[in-house]
Structure 1
Amino acid sequence: MRIIPPLLCLAALLAAPLASASVRYEVKNRRIEPRQTLAQALHDAALPDAQVEAVISALEGVFDFRKSRPGDQFRLVLSGGVLDFFDYRQSAVDEWQVRRDGEKYVGSKRTIEVEKRVELVSLEISTSLYEAALAAGEDPGIGVVLADVFAWDIDFYRDTRKGDKARALVEKFVSKGRVLRYGEVLAAAYEGGLVGTKRVFRYQPGTEQPNYFQEDGTSARKTFLKSPLKFAHVTSGFGSRVHPTLKYVKNHNGVDYGAGIGTPVWAVADGTVTKLGNTGAGGNTVCVRHTNGFETCYLHLSRYGSGVRMGGRVSQKQVIAYSGNTGRSTGPHLHFALKRNGAFVNPLNQKYPRADPLPKAHLPDFLVKAKELASQLDSISVATASGGSGSEPQAAAAAP
């Protein structure tokens, strides 16, 4: 009797034609668990050793195994106990597959068609920007995008009022009818009961970096942001107060923002790091020196941002740290302090100058393009909470 080597047995089994009438398919859906490699996950899914090795071998050079992370999904399709198809998914646009092709397995990255569209998003705020996005049929991520664009003029926790309206001409990256993410905001408008009307337009002057400008060409950018957090509420203001742990009246030389541990903290302006480390009562702290005698400090942090170092430069909107609960703290929050010429001042009532306006040589071109974008911004009425998607035109009869 002739003994057939195990690998030849597997090859013969893989090469055997499928009998559609008798073959039973088995589908296994799994996730990568913490501290689990892909190979371990395949073994735990009861895939035979030889087939695990075949999948891993097929993916070499196609998938970077170091980027496998907990929560990634994969699917195994088996027929007669033999793997027919393996699908690995990290996101809506990041998928890999291994399929059986005769006697071998072939790995590849799936091609996902992504379409870039430019659409108008219209929101009316009832309670929050988040709720307004949902009411208009948009992904809540649009709120983060708008908060970024208007960061110099609007604190989207303190400054918003019921009935405020926002519009944005924005890039959408769409796959299979689903918005994967928002891209650049080409133009945006905000009509607020407290902040008034703000309109900004994205423009690239020659070979310089694109930036946002107002309709007359003045910069939308200011030297300081209104807040070191995109979304947070003030839990304790500037001035005298009864200290929550020391229980006596003490000056509160800054502003406390309620923020969960790990919330990204922005540098409110360009500057140089002058302090980085644990300061005792202040916990983990970062201080940054800016121009014109200003210095900002960020306290009670959980950790520091990537690349932030003592004496290093940081730029406005750079994530320099993450909020926490370190030091003398009664709960997760960010303490933000501002000094001017060595004396503490209230960060909430400062008026900062705008950056340099658009160079005159680019102004005529900008005005033409801004006018065109403005007409698109004003092309439809704003969706209300009871209306449909903000990207759909509203009936003329609904307009006031």
Structure 2
Amino acid sequence: MRLATAVVCLGLLLAAPFAEASTVRYTVKNRRIEPNQPMAVALQEAGLPPEQVGALISALEGVFDFRKSRVGDQFRLVMREGELDFFDYRQSTVDEWQVRRDGDKYVGSKRSIEVEKQVGLVSLEINNSLYEAALAAGEDPIIGMVLADVFAWDIDFYRDVRRGDRARALVEKFVSKGRILRYGEVLAATYEGESVGTKRVFRYELPDGKASFFQEDGASARKAFLKSPLKYAHVTSRFGSRVHPVLKYVKAHNGVDYAAAIGTPVWAVADGTVTVAHNTGAGGNTVCLRHTNGFETCYLHLSKYGSGVRAGSRVSQKQVIAYSGNTGRSTGPHLHYALKRNGGYVNPLNQNFPRTEPLPKNLLADFRAKVAPLAQQLDAVSVASASSQP
């Protein structure tokens, strides 16, 4: 879609005293990159003479590669008496390039965007979904994904969420001109849910520089296995016997099916070694992982495999190992997830895995000192909310 062209007439007073005012004509053209439209073509179609197209692109050589232009990118041309005076190109709120006239030449540069890191409180009340709760609170809906990551060991954000559940988090926000560009680290978070109870975690950096989440008493928030191989997932078929949707007879369903659009990232529920990463026929593209204590997990009907995922490779918990699909004997896009223990299939939804190692005793004092002010901030919000009730 093309934006309107504006013609602006500005009065420019000549240097000589008492001379009559001279009018300089400026033409401002705003455009977007359209499908299958190279940048040079877009500039010419906007009315920039061919020789100035070359000069503009040369000015940005080494600054911006126009081969990386994307459909929908915006650009603006400011023409002075038919010649380019200023060019502005924007891909996002933080990615913007400019070309300005400097005498007889053009100078290109990337515009410097001021970004401020703040620590802010996110407070959500869930009446329908985490996505809608984020919008209602004036937050970017991506905060739902951030919280799903933090509570991935304890909460399945499709099955476990109930109306009236509350979530609070102290989180880094990267802000430019009052707009949230992205969220950073979650420093502390609380989830109060009807089905899961109260979960409360704090981020703490260990002496080796790695950070992890711990409960207030120093117990690890991490478990050996995640609750789900997807951040958000709708269970469409549970573990047990069922009438197979393709074969049309009763057959054991040795896993759980999750509705997932093709290309949804699938993460490893635990550290492990890849034993299978190929097409298995009815299972389509499949990845299987071997874990400790006799556990094995398999992920079926995938569209493609994650980077570096092949038989024999090591993967870590939360690593994206594949993307959901509709391959093999499948009636629609979904992920089939299976869990084995000592060679036999078990129900993934009713497992209770132990937590990983707690904080060493020699770190507890430092941990408590650092999380105390974070806990006070979370509690202050809770008290304020309670006191506002009639």
TM-score normalised by structure 2 residue count: 0.91
Report the residue type matching 2:350 in the other structure: N
Change (3 A) 1:66 1:340: farther
Report the residue type matching 2:192 in the other structure: E
Aligned residue in 2 for 1:47? 48
Report the residue type matching 2:293 in the other structure: N
Aligned residue in 2 for 1:108? 109
Tell whether the 8 Å contact from 1:339 to 1:345 is kept in structure 2 after alignment. yes
Change (3 A) 1:90 1:196: same
Change (3 A) 1:397 1:359: closer
**Cα drift, residue 55 of structure 1:** 1.1
Aligned residue in 2 for 1:12? none
Whole-Å separation in 2 of the counterparts to 1:320 and 1:205? 27
Of structures 1 and 2, the one with the larger relative CO (CA 8 A, separation 6+) is: 1
Report the residue type matching 2:321 in the other structure: I
Name which of structure 1's ranges 193-202 and 371-380 shifts more when overlaid on structure 2. 371-380
Aligned residue in 1 for 2:162? 161
**Cα drift, residue 21 of structure 1:** 5.2
Residue deviations 1:346-395 (CA, integer Å, cap 9, x gap): 1101111111111111111001112221001112249xxxxxxxxxx76x
Whole-Å separation in 1 of the counterparts to 2:76 and 2:354? 56
The alignment covers a number of residue pairs equal to: 373
Residue deviations 1:6-30 (CA, integer Å, cap 9, x gap): xxxxxxxxxxx99995333333333
Change (3 A) 1:286 1:97: same
1:399 aligns with 2:368: no
Residue deviations 1:19-70 (CA, integer Å, cap 9, x gap): 9953333333333344543333323433221111111111112123443333
Aligned residue in 2 for 1:386? none
- Report the 3-state secondary structure (helix = DSSP H, G, I; strand = E; otherwise coil) of the residue aligned with 1:131: helix
Aligned residue in 2 for 1:367? 368
Whole-Å separation in 1 of the counterparts to 2:27 and 2:13? 14
Change (3 A) 1:54 1:321: same
Tell whether the 8 Å contact from 1:381 to 1:399 is kept in structure 2 after alignment. no
4+ residue runs of structure 1 moved beyond 4 angstroms?
17-21
Aligned residue in 1 for 2:18? none
1:82 aligns with 2:83: yes
**Root-mean-square deviation (CA), in Å?**
1.9
Whole-Å separation in 2 of the counterparts to 1:354 and 1:202? 16
Whole-Å separation in 1 of the counterparts to 2:231 and 2:13? 57
Whole-Å separation in 1 of the counterparts to 2:47 and 2:66? 20
Query: How do 1:1-400 and structure 2 match up within 5 A?
Result: 22-381=23-382, 398-399=388-389
Whole-Å separation in 2 of the counterparts to 1:24 and 1:77? 10
Whole-Å separation in 1 of the counterparts to 2:364 and 2:202? 13
Whole-Å separation in 2 of the counterparts to 1:291 and 1:21? 82
**Cα drift, residue 143 of structure 1:** 0.6
- Report the 3-state secondary structure (helix = DSSP H, G, I; strand = E; otherwise coil) of the residue aligned with 1:320: strand
- Report the 3-state secondary structure (helix = DSSP H, G, I; strand = E; otherwise coil) of the residue aligned with 2:24: coil
**Cα drift, residue 95 of structure 1:** 0.7
Whole-Å separation in 2 of the counterparts to 1:306 and 1:44? 40
Change (3 A) 1:339 1:21: farther
Report the residue type matching 1:399 in the other structure: Q
Aligned residue in 2 for 1:13? none
- Report the 3-state secondary structure (helix = DSSP H, G, I; strand = E; otherwise coil) of the residue aligned with 1:378: helix
Tell whether the 8 Å contact from 1:253 to 1:344 is kept in structure 2 after alignment. yes
Change (3 A) 1:192 1:96: same
**Cα drift, residue 270 of structure 1:** 0.8
Whole-Å separation in 1 of the counterparts to 2:308 and 2:353? 27
Whole-Å separation in 1 of the counterparts to 2:53 and 2:318? 45
